[in-house]
Chain A
Amino acid sequence: GENVEQHPSTLSVQEGDSAVIKCTYSDSASNYFPWYKQELGKRPQLIIDIRSNVGEKKDQRIAVTLNKTAKHFSLHITETQPEDSAVYFCAASLNSGYALNFGKGTSLLVTP
């Protein structure tokens, strides 16, 4: 089955700096890669996603890049703010309607 690895497990940055979280996956058949943000005690919420026919996608301060050959994808957050502090999960899936295979999460702390 699919195995998703995520690094780092914790990340601390100063407000205004950039944060990068990296994930690798094992199943070359995976073609959907979402990123979820989960605040303490809350539900995971989708912040951005990318499909395998796209190499990069950007939404305001958040961007995701995908390298299908190397089987890795990354989340980039620019101009970080304290409210970006949360746990971020990457995931991989075969397609729409299939299970998401999650990484172990990255706890991001943005200090003022």
Chain B
Amino acid sequence: EAGVVQSPRYKIIEKKQPVAFWCNPISGHNTLYWYRQNLGQGPELLIRYENEEAVDDSQLPKDRFSAERLKGVDSTLKIQPAELGDSAVYLCASSSDDRGTGSYEQYFGPGTRLTVT
């Protein structure tokens, strides 16, 4: 099966510019996550979706970040305006709510490396 797909893989923008990231999760996965990974750190959750509903966005800086997951499949994460401190790798992950198989695994995409200059 195809893995989690993200685009673009790399993005360089000037501060105060907008930027958007796109994620296509594994087919059938109802839960989608956006994490941010700063250099030398572990990923940190920004937002979690169950189908179309954002069920955990407590760590999302809502003044400049927004996200959507229309139709409960693909998702976009937007930053407007970007700041220097937003430079990081933005990772999308997905998982299935399949307690029948006991599968807990979150599958990560390759990430988008954002550089804000």
Contact = CB atoms under 8 A, between A and B. Distances in A.
A49 B104 CA distance: 9
Contacts of A25: none
Interface residues of B, number: 26
A100 B105 contact: no
Interface residues of A, number: 26
Given A51-B104, A104-B41, A43 B99 contact: no
How would you classify the secondary structure of chain B's contact residues: helix, strand, loop or mixed? loop
Contact of A43 (B31, B44, B48, B110): B110
Nearest to B41: A104
Interface in B30-82: 31, 33, 40-45, 48, 50, 56
Given A96-B97, A97-B95, A99-B48, A44 B43 contact: yes
B42 A103 contact: yes
B113 to A, nearest CB: 8
Contacts of A43: 4, 91, 108-111
Interface of A: 4, 6, 32, 34, 36, 42-46, 49, 51, 89, 91, 93, 95-105
Interface of B: 4, 31, 33, 40-45, 48, 50, 56, 91, 95, 97-99, 103-111
